[in-house]
Structure 1
């Protein structure tokens, strides 16, 4: 009996299956290779936490989101590097806790919700106190009144070091925030959210000006923008389809988005935006923001506006790429999207540098050393 011919619909399904299988295997192989490279760097560069014989009393910001992820990351890291950690919130009776627990060091993050009389009481117990300011120089009208009450002041803005010293702070150190590697790390993001260019952050006016000029130059690319107030854009209706408006993103989905895009843009806040800042001293900002380290820890290419201190942390053109105008940004984005090997090599070098030098493990060890030995 003659063998029946296969129907066209069956042949079409079989061909589609073979194409899908071949494409899936190729994509899986490429993803696996990339994840393998990233994991090799993570294992090679990430610091190994060593517990120190110290008892830390950590006082959270008390501000909730978006500060709570910073608190969570610092607490988790302190538990890796300190033999004992006691956690308190600003509303607690800090003096009673300190008198009972006798920590070696009290560390407060931000400190705006922590009453100064509680700090004085801990100082009176002979316990060293440190504060780490997370938003300098944007709220220095407030922090200038807080800083002198602590034994040691840490600021993520280098230009604030002399500012606090002039206000009577005997010990002031520049300490960028860095990154909590437990949250920001290489990830195999879902293909449904993958794209080419990403920006996550609040639409401060300097960023609105940047994107008003930038978006027409990169709109042919697969874009993703997320954050508050992006309806300020001059042509918001035109760009609305790829804007996730009014959203504060937790670290995990932020890292997933960074990993899902080939290029992530970083744009620093302006020091002189008087609609939000409380910086009447008009201290200029020269140091990198925390996003600089978070993006780099996520194994993607970062395009950032240039601040003087970035060169202290990354080698431009090798570990990070800077831009000086919307047109320059667009041109460099085009270049690196067309030169995949160069893009990936920079991203990998940036990942290595970040894990080697800029994690919370490194930062908190520096903070403890400077406070306890100063």
Structure 2
């Protein structure tokens, strides 16, 4: 009897093994082939960093999460492209550090937590000072008073260049944020979170309006939404099983979720939202958000609403896909879910363009060139 049980158990184990191999091998081969293609793009497109003989004093945003991942990506990239990097927080004695270390330039991210007196005093030491605004045009009521205290202003919104220039800033440059490919990259996410379409972001009112129309049209798909305030949806109770409410994910988790889906939706924030309205000048936003580059760097197909400046960074229909209405979004999502080779080809071209042109290596090289070029006057 015992021998019969052992033979039955062995036969069952063998059958389970064969079934697992038959079902798992095609999935493993498919994933391996995809990541091999991605790795080829990564090796081909990623720029080789070259260190410049520049000493950069970097002042963090001082805001913690979600700004801390931006700080980390910029600091780690600066270490690759600048000969020396000194790191401080806004609450530190920045002037004392600058006087002791004598950097060539000071870069401040965001600038809202950095006392303007410190920026002025560092500039008076003869150090070139630069601020990189991360949330234009949504906080221009505040940043207008900060910008004038720096030698060079960098903004991720093209329409803000004239805004700062009109307020007396002599050197203003348009420089969108980039992507840190250590965080956002092709990944092999667990099958438990894999789906077809996802959106990650806060439920600003324009997004609530969009998804109120979208969800009924996409509910038959494996749809996942994550972020704050989605209880604002008129039919939240009906759709709450699709939503991770109030969840903050770090960059690696976010990239993993992007990789877990075949299509990622990008819906830009409106330039005026009743929840946050610190843009009394009503500057319209025409430039792509940081999420544009992060999704593309994760090698998934991005369906984005149209921003006027988008074509400076990606070729629609080849490296990225745009939509102009909820119905257009749904039609294109259905098309690319049914045409896998086309979907993957666009995702790979988007990955290549991102790594070639839109990483922090590219952005910081531009920033250092512009900051160190020419003579400077007191801000």
TM-score (norm 1): 0.97
User: In 1, distance between residues paired with 2:95 and 2:331?
Assistant: 56
Aligned to 1:39: 39
User: In 2, distance between residues paired with 1:136 and 1:161?
Assistant: 10
Aligned to 2:377: none
Aligned to 2:159: 159
Aligned: 1:93 with 2:121:
no
| TM-fit CA distance, 1:238 | 1.3
User: In 2, distance between residues paired with 1:100 and 1:353?
Assistant: 41
User: In 1, distance between residues paired with 2:238 and 2:48?
Assistant: 48
Aligned to 1:82: 82
Aligned to 1:309: 309
User: In 2, distance between residues paired with 1:274 and 1:280?
Assistant: 12
Map 1:287-302 to 2 at 5 A: 287-302=287-302
- Judge conservation of contact 2:204–2:275 (CA < 8 Å) in 1: no
User: In 1, distance between residues paired with 2:352 and 2:261?
Assistant: 19
Unaligned runs of 5+ in 2: 375-379
Q: Deviations over 1:26-63 (max 9, x none)?
A: 11100000000000000000111111101000000100
Aligned to 2:229: 229
Aligned to 1:144: 144
User: In 1, distance between residues paired with 2:97 and 2:14?
Assistant: 70
Q: Deviations over 1:88-135 (max 9, x none)?
A: 100111110100000000000000010011011011101000000000
User: In 2, distance between residues paired with 1:45 and 1:180?
Assistant: 14
Aligned: 1:254 with 2:259:
no
Report SS of the residue matched to 1:84.
strand
Aligned to 2:264: 264
| TM-fit CA distance, 1:277 | 2.5
TM-score (norm 2): 0.95
User: In 2, distance between residues paired with 1:242 and 1:20?
Assistant: 30
Q: Deviations over 1:291-340 (max 9, x none)?
A: 00000000000000000000110000000000011111111101000000
| TM-fit CA distance, 1:8 | 8.8
Aligned: 1:325 with 2:325:
yes
User: In 2, distance between residues paired with 1:39 and 1:13?
Assistant: 36
Name which of structure 1's ranges 46-55 and 340-349 shifts more when overlaid on structure 2.
46-55
Aligned to 1:188: 188
Aligned to 1:216: 216
User: In 1, distance between residues paired with 2:7 and 2:81?
Assistant: 67
Aligned to 2:369: 369
Report SS of the residue matched to 2:189.
coil
Aligned: 1:357 with 2:362:
no
Q: Deviations over 1:152-201 (max 9, x none)?
A: 00000000000000000000000010101111011111111111001100
Q: Deviations over 1:235-254 (max 9, x none)?
A: 11111112111011100000
User: In 1, distance between residues paired with 2:235 and 2:14?
Assistant: 46
- Judge conservation of contact 2:288–2:309 (CA < 8 Å) in 1: yes
Report SS of the residue matched to 2:54.
strand
Instruction: Calculate the aligned-residue CA RMSD, in Å.
Output: 1.5
User: In 1, distance between residues paired with 2:274 and 2:86?
Assistant: 38
Q: Deviations over 1:218-261 (max 9, x none)?
A: 00111111100111111111111121110111000000000111
Unaligned runs of 5+ in 1: none
User: In 2, distance between residues paired with 1:281 and 1:274?
Assistant: 15
Aligned to 1:202: 202
Name which of structure 1's ranges 271-280 and 167-176 shifts more when overlaid on structure 2.
271-280
User: In 2, distance between residues paired with 1:17 and 1:125?
Assistant: 71
Aligned to 2:342: 342
Aligned to 2:102: 102
User: In 1, distance between residues paired with 2:283 and 2:297?
Assistant: 29
Aligned: 1:61 with 2:61:
yes
User: In 2, distance between residues paired with 1:107 and 1:9?
Assistant: 67
| TM-fit CA distance, 1:12 | 6.5
Aligned to 2:112: 112
